[in-house]
Amino acid sequence: MGVRRILVLKLLLFLFSYGLTDQTSRERYEFDDNKYAKSQQNNSCKLNACEVLNYLSKQLLTVKAFIDSDFERWLKVSSADTFISPINVAMVNRVRQIENRLRSIEQPVWRLVSASQNEWNRCTSGICRCSPETKSFTCWNANFVSLPVSQVIPMNMESIDLSRNQFSTFHKDTFRGLTLLKELDLSNNILNFIPANLFQDLDSLLQLRLQNNNLENLDSVTFWKLRNLNLIDVSKNLLSDLPTNLFGHSQRLIVINLSQNKILHFSPELLRDQLVLEDLDLSRNEILELKSGCLKNLKSLKMIDFSFNFISSISDDFFSDLKNLRSLILHNNRISSVSKELLKNLKSLITLDLSTNRISKIDENAFSDLKKLRELLLGQNNLSDIPDGLFNNVNSLISLNLFSNNFTTIESNDFQGLINLEKLMLNNNILKNMEDDAFTPLGNLEKLRIDSNKLQYLQNGAFSSLKKLVAVKLDKNPWHCDCKVLYLARWIREFSGKLWDGQVAVCRGPGSLGGHEVGLLRYDDLCEGQWASMLSLSPRLPLRKHRIMTHMNYTTYFDLYLKHIYTTTIRSD
């Protein structure tokens, strides 16, 4: 029966992909399809085996009419382009739906029995693990393609784990009568179809895991009977369009995980009644924009993850009701600016991740309400400056990540207000200059990265206010080793133990000093050749070699300089 069914369905798919060209076939197809669509709208089509076979038989009449009238003509004019017509796409989807329903009807069902001690003993003797003490059952990682028909399941079972198998669907009566079930794990299978009423008796269910399957769509009533559900995980599937009322009857949800799907639109109706929702994960989808009203009245939300989408537009009031939000992850999107209204009222926010976007502009008041913010990630954006007063109201900030932007200069007031900052990442920018008091407000800073920039030297006393500094990364800068880098050389010698991972700062030049470690160079290495340089005499290192036998101090250099000026003046006269 199974092989025969598959052959029939494949024939349907093949013929309908090219067929339905004559008027009789079209009329028959449209009549049946409209009838089917109408029954779906009325929620009356919960296809059983007889209904499926009845519908299929009518489609087979269409195939027969096509074969009798049009097959020869099709052989002459067929082309690959026929596959892409809308009617063919609809037919492919319809055949797939029929096949899924047939497969679910054919699935074996285990035996549901009373909750007596004798039945629990029979459960423990089955092919899977059954625990009367915890009222739990597991067939984890058993490589099953269908349920073991010899297995008995007591009606007072509270936990079932069928994860890591090869289930593609289940019979609609698989969990019928398990009204006390609290946890159900169907993750890590190959599920591509779930009968709409599969969970209809699971009123006590608290946790449902469907992650890492092949689900492309869900019926709008799939979760309607799960009124006590507090966690649902449908991540790592192929979902694209979600029914707007998918969670409409599950109003006690605390955690919803829809990550790693193909969701394009986040409907304002999807979470309308989720008043106790705390954790929402929509990361790694294909969402383009976040419209006003999608999170309205969700005052219990504490964590939102929209990372790895294609979001370029966010309504200014999108987060306005989330006064208890603690973590907002918008990493890896296409956001270009942050307005002063976007983060307004997020008074409980602790972590804000805006990294790996296209942000080039942040309003100076954008963070004014984030008084509890402790971690801010702005790395891998297009920022070139820090607006005045941006951090004035975020005194609680502990970690600030600004790596891989377009900063060229750090000014004295850029970090004003960050009195509790402990970690600052400025690496992989194009920094060429930092004002001497740029780090003055950062009295509690412990870790600093300024590596991989264009710095040639540091201003005298640049680190003098950083009394608690324990690690600094300085490498991969073009340090110019003349007298201006003397402060950095002395600091490295004194605090060499604070170099991050032992990475040393190396001279880019000038001359033969290129490649030398900054911290190993002394005063005479860095400064003594400067008067000679002004006189166009020998380079610094060769001069130091000639100096071995005849010591030449700064007085001698100054005398040479005066003699040079005097001689030049006489010649000009």
Helix 49-77 and helix 2-18, axial crossing angle in degrees, nearest 10: 40
Within this chain, do residues 76 and 119 fall inside the same structural domain, yes or no?
A: no
How much is the average pLDDT of 331-357? 97
Within this chain, do residues 80 and 150 fall inside the same structural domain, yes or no?
A: no
Within this chain, do residues 209 and 119 fall inside the same structural domain, yes or no?
A: yes
Q: How far apart are CA 18 and CA 71, in angstroms?
A: 10
Within this chain, do residues 120 and 161 fall inside the same structural domain, yes or no?
A: yes
On whether residue 87 sits in a domain, the answer given is: yes
Within this chain, do residues 101 and 113 fall inside the same structural domain, yes or no?
A: no
The residue from 166, 189, 214 where one domain ends is 214
Within this chain, do residues 187 and 129 fall inside the same structural domain, yes or no?
A: yes
On whether residue 220 sits in a domain, the answer given is: no
Determine whether 180 is exposed, middle or buried from the number of CB atoms within 10 Å of its CB (0-12, 13-18, 19+).
Answer: middle
On whether residue 98 sits in a domain, the answer given is: yes
Within this chain, do residues 172 and 122 fall inside the same structural domain, yes or no?
A: yes
On whether residue 340 sits in a domain, the answer given is: no
Q: How far apart are CA 289 and CA 499, in angstroms?
A: 43
On whether residue 9 sits in a domain, the answer given is: yes
What number of CA atoms fall less than 13 Å from residue 310's CA on the CB side?
A: 8
Within this chain, do residues 63 and 99 fall inside the same structural domain, yes or no?
A: yes
pLDDT digits 0-9 by tens, 369-401: 999 999 999 999 999 999 999 999 999 999 999
Domain that holds residue 538: 531-572
On whether residue 148 sits in a domain, the answer given is: yes
How much is the average pLDDT of 263-286? 95
Within this chain, do residues 100 and 116 fall inside the same structural domain, yes or no?
A: no
Within this chain, do residues 70 and 120 fall inside the same structural domain, yes or no?
A: no
Q: How far apart are CA 330 and CA 308, in angstroms?
A: 8
Lowest mean pLDDT among 11-15, 159-163, 192-196: 11-15
Within this chain, do residues 118 and 210 fall inside the same structural domain, yes or no?
A: yes
On whether residue 396 sits in a domain, the answer given is: no
pLDDT > 50? residue 544: no
Q: Which two tokens stand for residue 422?
A: 């402990």
Number of domains the chain is built from: 3
pLDDT digits 0-9 by tens, 427-468: 999 999 999 899 999 999 999 999 999 999 999 999 999 999
pLDDT digits 0-9 by tens, 170-217: 999 999 999 999 999 999 999 999 999 999 999 999 999 999 999 999
pLDDT of res. 20? 40
**CATH (domain of 119):** 3.80.10.10
The residue from 163, 194, 214 where one domain ends is 214
Phi, then psi, of 447 in degrees rounded to 5: -130, 135
pLDDT digits 0-9 by tens, 22-44: 333 333 334 344 554 455 455 44
pTM of the complete model: 0.79
On whether residue 138 sits in a domain, the answer given is: yes
pLDDT of res. 339? 96
According to DSSP, residue 517 is labeled B
pLDDT of res. 60? 56
Residues in contact with 273: Cβ distance below 8 Å, sequence separation at least 6, in sequence order: 247, 248, 251
Helix 86-106 and helix 49-77, axial crossing angle in degrees, nearest 10: 140
pLDDT digits 0-9 by tens, 483-535: 999 999 999 999 999 999 888 999 998 888 889 999 998 888 888 755 444 44
Residues in contact with 391: Cβ distance below 8 Å, sequence separation at least 6, in sequence order: 367, 397, 400, 415, 416, 417, 418
pLDDT of res. 548? 33
Percent of the chain with pLDDT over 90: 67
pLDDT of res. 48? 56
Q: How many CB atoms lie within 10 A of CB 40?
A: 12
- In the predicted model, what is the mean pLDDT of the chain? 83
How much is the average pLDDT of 263-274? 93
The residue from 184, 214, 244 where one domain ends is 214
Within this chain, do residues 8 and 82 fall inside the same structural domain, yes or no?
A: yes
